[in-house]
Amino acid sequence: MVIIKKLIYLIRSSIALIALTLMVGCGDSAKVSNEMAEMFSHKSLSMEQYADLANIPKSAQSNRLESFNIFEARSSIADNLLKSEFKGDLKITRQLVEAKSRIVLDAYFDSFMKGALSEEVVQEYYDNNKQAFSENEYRLSYYLVRVMKGENEEIPLSEMHKLYLNIKSGQEIQLGAYEANIVKGKIVLSSNNADPTVLNVLEGISEGGVAPPVRTKLGVQVFKVEAINTNLLPINQVRSKIEYRLKEQLIDREYRRLLSEISN
């Protein structure tokens, strides 16, 4: 997720910097500022267009006119400053280019995702990745030695490893003198919400198998898998996860396509 976000940022920045480089190549820095002023001019919007885009109802005509006048005044001041106070200021120019890129690309991808993220696409992803949307219910027997905070773990780990080898070999369980320290029990865990440390040690263990000793919040434990039931989660329960994953993939792919177009 973090890698994809960084990639998107780099691609977006590349698009902005390419545009900036092309404009700088056309002339000096003063010309760039003038071109920026024209590019972001407010003059192409009428009062009616601005008010409609700002969602000001037609019945509030005075509010529509007042808002447009404020918009025009602010825009005119900004245009004038860009041509005078900030004439030749490439820092401002760069910020404007990046702001334009962000706004345009965000609008483009909002529209793009509406068409790309169809019900058929979501269903296909679900059908092709059912294992990722399944949860295992583990029925386990366990042996536990509690370890107090600051206590040396070497002895309990050593003793539980002996127990693990004993169970794994199929021999009769011999707890020996350490039996008084061992708690036995049964538990049902779901892969959807169990301790990740326990799930990691259970990975790849089939029914009847035993996992090596693991340090958990309770102490040192050895788990024997009595049964595993696999349940496929319904699509409505995982839809948000599917859409999130698909958005990342589709946006990343489309960014690359857009970048290849301006690079060719």
Q: What is the pLDDT of residues 216-249, one digit of tens each?
A: 888 899 999 999 999 999 999 999 999 999 999 9
118: pLDDT strictly greater than 50: yes
Instruction: Count the domains in the chain.
Output: 2
Q: What angle do CA 196, 202, 203 make, to 5 degrees?
A: 90
Best CA proximity match to 189, nearest among 165, 216, 171, 170: 216
Q: Are residues 22 and 109 in the same domain?
A: yes
Q: Band the pLDDT of 35: cuts 50, 70, 90.
A: low
**78: containing domain:** 2-124+241-263
How far is it, in rounded angstroms, from Cα 69 to Cα 219? 70
Q: Are residues 42 and 13 in the same domain?
A: yes
Q: Are residues 30 and 103 in the same domain?
A: yes
Q: Are residues 112 and 148 in the same domain?
A: no
Q: Band the pLDDT of 12: cuts 50, 70, 90.
A: low
Q: Are residues 118 and 149 in the same domain?
A: no
Q: Are residues 114 and 225 in the same domain?
A: no
Q: Are residues 150 and 117 in the same domain?
A: no
Best CA proximity match to 125, nearest among 256, 241, 254, 5: 241
Q: Is residue 68 part of a domain?
A: yes
Q: Is residue 53 part of a domain?
A: yes
Q: Is residue 190 part of a domain?
A: yes
Q: Is residue 105 part of a domain?
A: yes
pLDDT at 9: 52
Q: Are residues 13 and 109 in the same domain?
A: yes
Q: Is residue 109 part of a domain?
A: yes
Q: Which of 1-5, 73-77, 147-151, 207-211 has the lowest mean pLDDT?
A: 1-5
Query: Cα separations (Å) of 41 from 34, 204, 217, 224?
Result: 11, 63, 62, 71
User: For strand 134-146 and strand 182-190, is the pairing parallel, antiparallel, or unpaired?
Assistant: antiparallel
Cα-Cα-Cα-Cα dihedral of 36, 42, 43, 44, to 10°? 90
Q: Which of 19-28, 76-85, 155-164 has the lowest mean pLDDT?
A: 19-28
22: pLDDT strictly greater than 70: no
Question: What's 210's domain CATH number?
Answer: 3.10.50.40
79: pLDDT strictly greater than 50: yes
pLDDT at 222: 93
The residue that leads in pLDDT, 56 or 26, is 56
Give the number of other CB atoms < 10 A from CB of residue 182: 19
What letter represents residue 23's amino acid? M
The torsion angles phi and psi of 172, rounded to 5 degrees, stand at -65, 135
**0.85 exceeded by the pTM?**
no
* HSE-CB for 207 with a 13 A CA cutoff: 8
Best CA proximity match to 155, nearest among 137, 139, 177: 177
Query: Do residues 153 and 215 make contact, with C-beta atoms less than 8 angstroms apart?
Result: yes
How far is it, in rounded angstroms, from Cα 123 to Cα 252? 20
- The first and second tokens of residue 154, run together, are 């070497």
Mean pLDDT computed over every residue of the chain: 82
Query: Do residues 142 and 212 make contact, with C-beta atoms less than 8 angstroms apart?
Result: no
16: pLDDT strictly greater than 50: no
Q: Band the pLDDT of 123: cuts 50, 70, 90.
A: very high
- Exposure class string for 226-238: b at 16+ Cβ within 10 A, else e: eebeeeeeebeeb
Q: Band the pLDDT of 40: cuts 50, 70, 90.
A: low
Best CA proximity match to 82, nearest among 42, 123, 35: 35
> CA 175: distance to chain centroid?
47
Q: Are residues 222 and 257 in the same domain?
A: no
Burial class, 202, CB count within 10 angstroms (exposed 0-12 / middle 13-18 / buried 19+): buried
Which one-letter DSSP state was computed for residue 179?
A: G
